[in-house]
Structure 1
Amino acid sequence: MSTTTLSAQETPRTSSAPARRTKPVRVRTHAPLTPWLLMAPALLSAIVFVLFPFLNTVVLSFTDARPLVGGSFNGLQNYRDLLADPMFWIALRNCLIYVVGAVPPLVILPLLLAMLVRKSVPGIGAIRTAIYTPVIASVVVTGLIWTWILDSRGLVNSMAQWLGVISAPIPFLTDEFLLLFSSILVTVWQGLGYYMVVYLAVLANVPRSLHEAAMMDGAGPVRRFFTVTLPAMRSTMLLIGVISSLAAFRVFSEIFVLSGGTGGPGGRSSSLVMLIREAGTGLSGRLGYSSAVSIVLFLLTLALMVVNLRLTYRKES
């Protein structure tokens, strides 16, 4: 038997210690802080542009501050002046008239338009575009167009006089209440297309089987509207009512443009927002009084929203 020996060069080398394994690096993430970091820009913007101005307005409402002049604390004097100011009550009356005059058409007319334009007929796309066009136009441009239409020498009065319907121009823009109703007309005209699109989106989700079942029961178009379409639109109608009423209560641009910035004869067609502007602008502006009107408007708007939401909850339940 022969034996074979390995030379020193051929002897395998063995390490005296096992190789160390590198541990994976673990990065600790603070999960609770991550959402706050993501929301930080939005929260900062809300604090700077919403919360701070609101708190500043509350503080100013208890002072006699004016532009470039630091005011002193005067308690509830601004609120007493507000309640004793006849222009405040006139502006509040105008806002209530605006809500009553603008909200029902903005709830009902867009639904009727949506029922008409949802049918597949030639040219219906052009009709939808024409109805929606006022929505993309600014309120200032819309107001200037209607100023030209409703002026004493505008389109409506000129055509009516030419046809012999009237002998003297109708003061659409110079009468206290006609100016208010003209502004309501502009608001309704500009909002029809927007709310029509909302109704169209909801109508597309109404099951066709309900209409077919109603037709099998002998229901005509009118009956199907009241028994099928209207119940399906109830929550949407209530939502549009809430949104449009809040917007109507804070109206500014329509009245401002149609009246040329004067608020009508003697300012008697002004809204609460116009009163805030008139009282708080200029070097002699009463910032304290203007802030008090702003706080009252905020509280009235909040109360109106609560009433609308409670009515919505009751009707849905």
Structure 2
Amino acid sequence: MGKNVYLPGLALLSGILGLGLRLWQRRVSFDPETLLFLSGCPAPTLLLALTAAVAAVLLVSLRRESPPKTAAEVLACPSTLYMTLMAAGALLMLVGGALSVQEGLYQLTVWRVDPAAEPVTYPIALLLCALFSFLSGPALLMLGRESYRGPITQKAGPWSLAQPAAGLAWLFATHLKHGTDPVLMDYGPALAAVAFLMLGSYELAALRYAHPHPRRGLFCCLMSVYLGLLSLGDSLEPFRLALAAAFLLSNLAGAMALLSHMGPVRSGGARLAPKKEINNEGDHNNGE
């Protein structure tokens, strides 16, 4: 079984396991009256151990991968599953944008009634997230079609920035929503998930420019899949669920494209010649 199969499978299965642990934690140790987590439940320790194990496995598995050098080598992926994931992600980005507009207008109304209830930057961040989400829908379709059918061109480069911009606005809105919450355990997984979902889309966008970081992008994409599934155990608003699903699917598709082109430095168990190793190391430094 190749890494293009078991690494996405690891992220998905670990995310489902983490989701179960998160639901167990909220069901057993969360006190709705005090809004605190009671001590004694092993779920937090198991979640931390699982997260550390997933990160360690990904880092070890990717440390000997030889990154491609050009955008065409990185992004081309003539797979039906890849295009299906990108199309589903595009549709969910549009749904997330519509729900973000609804939530942003509602929060703006709340702010007008009681300006002290929350900062005005929160509804503004939601509306910005909605704007970039609407742009991300057709952008994902365009980028997916280009990677699926080819050729990879520079014209689509600016479109690849729409989803990272939506993720950045979403991350800012999430921080504003929970910035005054003293219980990190309550919102920490969701905040980490949004951060990695945004970083995964950003690294995929960076692949279309001069200095890509394929291995770092692959790590962020796979970790975002794991954390995105884990965060579904929290009580998320509909727009957050739609955005999380959209980013998760598009990042999973990006990871598939990267893994289909990345290979080990040594092939067939044979050690490369010293001169070749030096050249590969130089190429690696230039790519990273």
Q: Same fold (TM over 0.5)?
A: no
Larger radius of gyration: 1
TM-score range, shorter-chain basis? under 0.3
* Larger helix percent: 2
- Taking structure 1 as the reference length, what is the TM-score of the superposition? 0.25
TM-score norm. by structure 2 comes to: 0.26
